[in-house]
Amino acid sequence: MKTAVESVFLRLLEDAVSGEQSGPVIEFTDADWQQFCRLAMRQGVAPLVYNEVLCNKEYALPESIRMEMKQVCASQMLHYPRLQALLRTTFDHLTQAQLQPVLLKGFGLAELYPRPELRVWGDLDVYVGPVQYHKAASVLRSAFPNAKHHDEEWEELKHYNFVMPDGLIEMHRHSILPSHPRDKEIYFRLEKEAMLPDHTESLYLSDMDRTVILPELKFNMFFTFLHAWNHFVEEGLAWKQLCDVYLLARKAYYHYAASAEALQEYQTYLQTNVKAMCLQEAWQLVGYMLVDKLQLPAQMWFGYEGKQCDTFYHEVMDEGLLREQKREALHNRYIRREQSLQMPRLLRKWKTLRLRFADSRWLKTYAPRYARHQMAAAFYKGMSRLFKKEKTVLY
C-alpha cells in the first residue's frame, strides 16, 4: 500500500516525465518533506521531481529543504554542458576514425523528457560493436590520455571504461551480455541487425547542433526494458531506469501506431523475444510499475495482464539505485577478486559456480521461470569453467 509521501512522489514524477500537471497540492510536515527528499535521491530522479515542487508556489516548503532542492537542480544543470562536451569529443574522434558509434541510454533518451537537462546520468554509453571495438578503444585512449581506464581482462568483457573528472565513458562491445548461451545467441542477433546503418535512426540534438545515431526503435525498446530488469537483478532498480522505459514505450507506440501492420509487427517482435528469453514474468512486473503506478496506458505495454505485485513495488521503492546487500559486494569486488586468485584454481571455479547459483535463487520470489533460466545458465557456465584449463577470474 502506498504511503502519502509515495503517492505525491509518483504523481510529481508522472508530471515530470509527461509534461502535464495533475492533482491538488498536499500539505506535508517537515518530516514528510525529508522522507520525500530521501526517496527522490534513492530513486535517482531528484532533479526531476524537485523541479516540479519548486515550480509550484503553493507548496509550503521549509527553507532548508527548498535550498537543498535548488542546489540539486542547479548542480545537475551545470553538469549537463560538461556531459555534452564529453559526448561531442567522443563522437568527433570516433567518426574521424571512420567508425560508427551508436548512442545508448542516457543522452539518447534524455530528449524524450520535457526537461532533458534534469535527467540524471551516471555515464555516457557508446556502442561500437565487436568488430570496431579494439580500434575504438585505441582511438579513445589517444583522445583521453589522462583518463583512467582498465585493461581488457577476458574476451567476454561487455564494455571498456574511461573515467574522467567530467564523467565516465562506457564503450560497448555489446549493449548487454546475457548469461544464458541461448539468450546470447538471440540477443546478439537482434543487436547486430538493429545496429546496421539502414536500421538505426538519427536524432538531432538541438542544444549541441549535431546529429547522433540511435539503435533501431523496436530494439531500443527491448534493450531499455532488459537494461532496467538487469538493474533489478544485479544492483537494484530505481525509477530512474523505469522512467526511461516509460517514455520510450510511449514513443514507440505512437511511432508504430500510424500503421496497424507496423504496430502488429512491433508487438510480435517484443512478445516473441520476451518469451524466447524467459522474461514474461519480468515483463509483467515492469508493466505493473509503469501502468499501475505511473499511469502508462495499458495498450502501450503489450500483453499486460494487470497482475499486482506489491512485494516488487516495495523492493524498488525501498532499495532504489543500489540494493543494500550488494553495496559492500560491489565496493569490494576487486579486492575479493585479487584474493580469489590466491586460491587453488579448482576451488576458485567452484566458488564462482556457487555464487552464480546464490545470485539467481533469490529471484524466485519475483520471477520463478526466469530464476530457473538463470540457474541453468549459472550451472552451464560454472561447469564449463570448472573443466577449462585456461586462467579465469571470479568476476
Q: CA-CA distances (angstroms) from residue 201 to 114, 127, 208?
A: 21, 14, 18
Radius of gyration of the chain (CA): 22
How confident is the model at residue 314, as a pLDDT? Answer: 93
**Model pLDDT for residues 144-193, shown as the tens digit of each residue:** 888 776 554 433 466 778 887 777 888 889 999 888 888 999 999 999 99
End-to-end Cα distance, the chain? 38
Q: Considering the chain, tell me which residue range(s) the CATH 3.30.460 domain(s) occupy.
A: 78-215
Nearest in space to 195 (alpha carbons), one of 172, 228, 226, 225: 172
Q: How far apart are CA 343 and CA 362, in angstroms?
A: 27
Average of per-residue pLDDT across 339-367: 62
Helices then strands (H, E): number in the chain? 16, 7
- DSSP structural state of residue 151: P
Q: How many Cα atoms sit within 13 Å of 250 on the Cβ side? A: 17
Q: How confident is the model over 73-82, as pLDDT tens digits? A: 999 999 888 8
As a three-state string, the secondary structure of 42-93 is HCCCHHHHHHHHHHCCCCCCCHHHHHHHHHHHHHHHHHHHHHHHHHHHHHHH
Give the pLDDT confidence of 175-187 residue by residue, as tens digits: 998 888 889 999 9
pLDDT at 53 over 80: yes
The CATH classification of domain 78-215, taken from the options 3.30.70, 1.10.3470, 3.40.50, 3.30.460: 3.30.460
